[in-house]
Amino acid sequence: MALYVKAAEILEKAEKKQGALKTLVYDSKFNNVKQLFALVFETHKFSAVLEEIISTTKLLKLTRLKLPQAKVLVYDLLLGHGLKCGGAWKAALLKNRARLQAALARIKVRQGVCNNQDLIPANGPQDQRPLPRYVRVNTLKTSVADTVDYLKREGFTYLGQARTVEDLTLKGTHFVQDMDIPEILIFSPKTDFHNHFLYKAGHLILQDKASCLPAHVLHPPPGSVVLDACAAPGNKTSHLAALMENRGRLLALDLDAKRLSTMSTLLLRAGVTCQTLRHQDFLKVDPQSAEYREVEYILLDPSCSGSGMVCLRDDSDTDPARLSSLAAFQLKCLKHALSFPRVNRLVYSTCSVHRQENEDVVSACLQENNHFRLVPVLPQWPEHGLPPLSQCLRASPSSTRTHGFFVAMLQRHSETDVALGGSLSPSLSTPLVSVPESEVSDTEDQPEPTSDSTDQTGPGPALKKRRRKRKRKKKNKTSGASGLTTQ
């Protein structure tokens, strides 16, 4: 028991960045430091998976263990060499062993891995695979149906709408429609649209799927008053404008003049007309002023470590001092955003994988703002916020085939209460799988829509064939190796 007590203590400190793991272990004066170090080090490596297992099995509620204690015990029970303690903790863990094992098995099936080692985020082979090419159809200029037809005529092969994350692994000229955000089309990683006419004309926006989540989740209706607080270079702003159908007021601020000027060009190309750009420090904006007091929706995507960006990972994104200072800035921004008198709904997002910039910021802010609460979004999404913030979304190369990302939606209490009674907005209640009709077309360059629309509302024959093939393959393989290796 002493081993687990000490290991949990050190793990907690290390994960709160209160010291380097090795130093904390050696300073502990524990009589078997080697054993202690191995346990804490290994538990830390599997931290995200362990948190998911503990959260989905509700282990903390069932056992009254604290999270770090549960983590070290579950690590040894499921992934290590077995429990090395007796007493109440051992009894509690053994009582829940089957549920814990089932939760681990589900994660492995979902991630398509056989070995426990492959669950470690940074080293897992899943992370090494190139990400699919995501393209957002700019519905201010065209429709998904028209874009699909255009690309089909150019020689691309449309496989219909994806149903699972496995369908996002594509080869050659194959492409699919996304299952979560209908205006996203997905291509094989090597597809390059930079010189494509549709991109140059602003019909397509090259944007990772995870980065489309904030606007999609916030979903301001046409005619609303929206603030994009840290907006440049503006991909999320143009997504918001598309959802608002260019109607209403979209205030977009940024501190960086150069980025704002890039943004202005991008918005022009995307046909955005409902925006007001301001070169301004968001923290200095007066929420009560005439320009801002009517704001109902806020998208807050502040500067962060960028640790979720697969191509940008380096050591600086884990520097504790930098993380603390970013988290302090993010918290300040979030608190300020909640002080806007008429704001009803706010989305906070980062492209960071660090709890400190994500769940910790949201929790700290909500503690001081009890008139707002977290709202669960996209129930089908595979990765959620770290416990207890399971209402939030997380994205990662292995679970969603995107960059690492975090999204939280906060809503003012009164509206949430009504919403939970049954009048949720489309972004909260509707399973977002339908393809928009080819309703918007404001350029001469649009191809004629074809009547072949059936293959855009469900899987096409080719995708069905792939699924049948995968099912056959699965039958012949062990359960862990399902479908992710088709590339």
Ligand X SMILES: C[S@@+](CC[C@H](N)C(=O)[O-])C[C@H]1O[C@@H](n2cnc3c(N)ncnc32)[C@H](O)[C@@H]1O
How many degrees, rounded to 5, is the angle at CA 14 between CA 8 and CA 19? 130
- DSSP 8-class letter at 203: S
State whether residue 246 is helix, strand or coil: coil
- Is residue 303 close enough to count as binding ligand X by CB under 6 A? yes
Which of 282, 292, 340, 372 binds ligand X (CB under 6 A)? It is: 282
- Is residue 216 close enough to count as binding ligand X by CB under 6 A? no
Query: Tokens 């346990």, residue?
Result: 39
Of 191-199, 289-297, 301-309, 466-474, which part binds ligand X (CB under 6 A)? 301-309
Which of 233, 248, 308, 459 binds ligand X (CB under 6 A)? It is: 233
Which of 232, 295, 346, 366 binds ligand X (CB under 6 A)? It is: 232
**Bond from prior residue into 233 cis (ω within 30 degrees of 0):** yes
- DSSP 8-class letter at 228: E
Least separation, in Å, of the C-beta of 397 and ligand X? Answer: 19
Query: Tokens 């607080």, residue?
Result: 229
Which C-beta is closer to ligand X: that of 133 or that of 236?
A: 236
234 is in an annotated binding site: yes
254 is in an annotated binding site: yes
Q: Are 171 and 458 in contact (CB under 8 A)?
A: no
Integer Cα distance of 241 and 244 in angstroms = 5
Query: What string marks each residue from 239 to 268 as x (binds ligand X by CB under 6 A) or -?
Result: --------------xxxx--x---------
Least separation, in Å, of the C-beta of 437 and ligand X? Answer: 27
Catalytic hit among 304, 333, 351, 392: 351
Residues, the chain, total? 487
Contacts of 145 (CB under 8 A, 6+ apart): 435, 436, 437, 438, 449, 453, 456
- Is residue 231 close enough to count as binding ligand X by CB under 6 A? yes
Q: Are 464 and 95 in contact (CB under 8 A)?
A: no
As given in the structure block, the two tokens for residue 52 are 């998911």
Of 75-83, 139-147, 275-283, 472-480, which part binds ligand X (CB under 6 A)? 275-283
φ and ψ of 412, to 5 deg: -65, 140
Least separation, in Å, of the C-beta of 255 and ligand X? Answer: 4
Catalytic residue check, 85: no
301 is in an annotated binding site: yes
| Chain positions contacting ligand X, by CB under 6 A | 230-236, 253-256, 259, 281-283, 301-303
Q: Which residue ranges are tagged as binding site for S-adenosyl-L-methionine?
A: 230-236, 254, 281, 301
- Report the catalytic residues: 351
Q: Which residue ranges are tagged as binding site?
A: 230-236, 254, 281, 301
